[in-house]
Amino acid sequence: MERTALAIPAAVALAASCLAAHAQGIPSFDEQAARQFVSQQVASQGNASRFDVQLGTADLRIALPQCRRSEFFVPAGARLWGRSSLGLRCVDGATWSVLMPVTVTAWGPALVASTPLSAGTVPTSSDVREQEVELTREGSGLLHDAHELQGRTLSRPVAAGQALRADMLRITPVLQAGEPVRLRIQGPGFAITASAVALASAGEGQGIRVRTDFGRILTGIAREGRIVEVTP
C-alpha cells in the first residue's frame, strides 16, 4: 500500500483521466486520478491544511462487462474521512461498480489548551492557543476561535495540548434557580420593572421562567446582572 501526501491547492482540479477507459472487461485503474478525486472531496470539507491518502486495492479479479467509460464516486452514506471506501462505476457501456478501501488522515488548526484546565474553569483566550491537530482523530465540534469560549464553562478537565470541542463546554449560568431577579417588561411606548424569582438556571441569552411577587409565571431572556427581559 503506497502512502502519498497531498496538498490542498493541488486537489482542486480533476484530470480528465479520472474517467478511465476500459477495453478488456476489467476497468483500468488510474491511481493518480483516484487520489485527485479523493483530494477534491476532502478539500471541499474545509479546515484541513494538509492530508494523506492511502488507497487500498479493489478486487478486480472477476470478469466484468466491457466498459467504455468509468468514474469514481462516494458511496451513499459514506464520507471520505478516516477509514472509508471509494467507488468506481461504469457509466458507458455496462452497469457495474466496485469499491476499494481508502484512508484519509487530515490535519488542520484548532484551539488547544495551553495549560491543564480543570472542570468548572471559564476559559479565556490566554488559556488556549492555535495548533495543528489531526482532524480525523479528534472528531467533530473542534473550536477554532477564542470567541467561541465566551460565556462557556468547561464541563470536564482538559490536559495541556488537548484540543477543545464544543461538547466540553456548557453555557455559564448568569441566573440560578431560586435567585431574585429584576424584570424588564418592555412594549410599544412603555417600560416596567418588577421583582421575581428565577425558576431555573440560565446562561446569557437563554430563555428562563420566573415567578412574580403576585404568583404569575412569565418567560423571558436571561441577562447578566440578574435581569430578565420580558416582551409582553
Quick one: average pLDDT of 200-217?
91
Determine the pLDDT at residue 47: 78
pLDDT > 70 fraction of the chain, expressed in percent and rounded: 84
Tally Cβ neighbours within 10 Å of residue 15: 11
In this structure, of 10-19, 82-91, 158-167, 217-226, the range with the lowest mean pLDDT score is 10-19
CA distances to 40, 122, 188, 190, 213 from 223, in Å = 45, 18, 21, 20, 20
Among 211, 207, 204, smallest CA distance to 221 is for 207
- C-alpha 227/C-alpha 174 separation (Å) is 9
Determine the pLDDT at residue 139: 79
Determine the pLDDT at residue 43: 84
Determine the pLDDT at residue 151: 85
- C-alpha 194/C-alpha 136 separation (Å) is 52
When pLDDT is cut at 50, 70 and 90, the band that residue 186 belongs to is: confident
Residue 136 belongs to what H/E stretch?
A: helix 135-138
- C-alpha 142/C-alpha 50 separation (Å) is 17
When pLDDT is cut at 50, 70 and 90, the band that residue 23 belongs to is: very low
Determine the pLDDT at residue 5: 44
Phi, psi of 105 (to 5 degrees): -115, 120
In this structure, of 17-26, 59-68, 138-147, 203-212, the range with the lowest mean pLDDT score is 17-26
Considering only residues 195 and 57, tell me which one the structure prediction assigns the higher pLDDT. Answer: 195
For the stretch 167-184, pLDDT in tens is 999 988 889 999 999 999
Residue 10 predicted with pLDDT over 60: no
Residue 33 predicted with pLDDT over 80: yes
When pLDDT is cut at 50, 70 and 90, the band that residue 198 belongs to is: very high
For the stretch 134-166, pLDDT in tens is 999 987 899 999 999 988 999 999 999 999 999
Residue 62 predicted with pLDDT over 50: yes
Residue 188 predicted with pLDDT over 80: yes
The residues pairing with 133 across neighbouring beta strands, listed in sequence order, are 108
Mean of per-residue pLDDT scores for the chain:
83
Residue 37, all three cell numbers: 478525486
